[in-house]
Structure 1
Amino acid sequence: MGRHWDRRGNTPPPGPGTGAYPAPGTADATTEPAVTPLRAPIPTAEAVIELANEVCGHFARAAVARAMVGHSEGEAEHARLTARAERFDALVNEKWPALVEALRTGLPSAAPLQGPAPTAEAVIALANEVCGHFAQAAVARTLAEHSASEAEHASQAARAEQFDALVDEKWPELVEALRTGLPSAAQIERFMPVRPLTNGHVELHVHDTSARRFVVLLTGVQALAVGAHMTAYGSIVLDRIGQKLDPLLPHVKAAPPFVPPGFAGQPATPDGAAGPPPAHP
């Protein structure tokens, strides 16, 4: 009875587990600022969604273990469930501040004047709410499976359905808020091994003569300078091997503003023209 805890689809649900005590985030989640001259990278939406999923799962498992302590038979089972709860509590205490920090890094602290981007505190509260609902639903399902009567089973099953409905409502809201306010994952561009990052840096993916792969990290200013130097050096080496540079340059079509209206010179190159004009002798 009940649903699988780790459902995956187009909109990923919170991670597996249950719980019935206050949701994560009710305690102080402040962290010490990192002492670094570089700006912290803005996390991607998918990374934060995955982290929220993980936090909810750990929180729910801890809550289920605590709920089952009251149904334990013997000291050994009581100790095992208590240790399980403590283990997942430790994971929540580790991951929840990381989630809060990611949201405060990537989302605005105040509502923007333009656009629907949510604030960091609003999304933190929503994540807190989702984890709480998910945990309570899972605890109710677990208690229903261990109920001593039909009435208790029906009560816990109904409670699980109630909180499942809240999760089904709130989790998509959380995912949408994260995808609206945070950047999507950057991809290495197909035409060259370069990936722009969200913190003002650029990754250059290269390999050495032994085919070992390396990543060169450049600031935005360095990337512009390297690009200019590479263009200059490229023209130099092509000239040294006797190859003209102009055939390799992007073709500028003979169209306004390059051809004044009424000018009876060369006709404009149509959009479907094949290739650049022939090279000069």
Structure 2
Amino acid sequence: MKFISRDTALAPGREAAAALAEQPGPFRVYSPSYSLPMQTAAAFNLHLADGVEPVHLAVVDQFMARAGGYGDPGFSVTIPHFDGPPESALRDVQPSLKLLGLLNVKYLAAEFPMAWEGLAAEAQIGRTFIYRNRLALPRAWVAYQTQPVQSDWLGQLESLPDVQAVVLTEGDAPTLNTPRPASAAEVTHFAPDRIRLAAATDGPGWLVLSEIWYPGWTAVVDGAPVPVARVDGLLRGVYLPNAGAHNISLEYRPASVIWGGRLAWATLLAIVAAAGIWAARATFRPKNP
């Protein structure tokens, strides 16, 4: 095992990461050339849509294969997939800026020029080209129209004229048909396991949070618990049934954690009870004459 200094570990992509960290957020960055290594991005508090991760959801692979344009939804430890040197393998691959925008990807960083429609050149820092995605959506918003999700949900998303205004819902989720643009929602606190938001609506709407849906997320709207639905194929959605100003909080509390906590308390109580019984028996044990 080789040990290196922190400065050495964070050297790759440092200047580009520092420049991006100065931009107002929240937003994500996508690199088709691994221009921002994960450790460097984390040091500058940047959120990535790409990276190296041996465990991720199949639905994320499907989405990123379409969004990144590389088309292979199979498993790989890297997102995107590289069939050659990362700095050049995807040079001629056109990403779906609409889908990347749905994931709050506001900036793209590449080791090669990208001339795709919808990108605005921002800077060249060393060998890294920085582009702004004109189709980027915010981290959260409220939509007032729904469509039932189809089997080709990725194609369905790409076909929407305004992917922010319409939310794809599943099962018996509440439906809406108010032909109006999406409205704003503000992320007031963000942590990996807890998010707080504020939104004002003049009618029922779906709060869409551009974060990956996963079992175990719970939500509270104005003090009342509500379910967290999967919307747009892989994002989190919370239904807001009434008009007005809303405070929304989401927390990750999977059943395993809840039951684990209960078992831990039960075990502790059992130990305390056993210790008490043992102490009582020892105190009142009759002495030999």
TM-score by length of 2: 0.22
Greater share of strand residues, 1 or 2?
2
Greater Rg, structure 1 or structure 2? 1
Structure with larger RCO (C-alpha < 8 A, sep 6+) = 1
TM-score by length of 1: 0.23
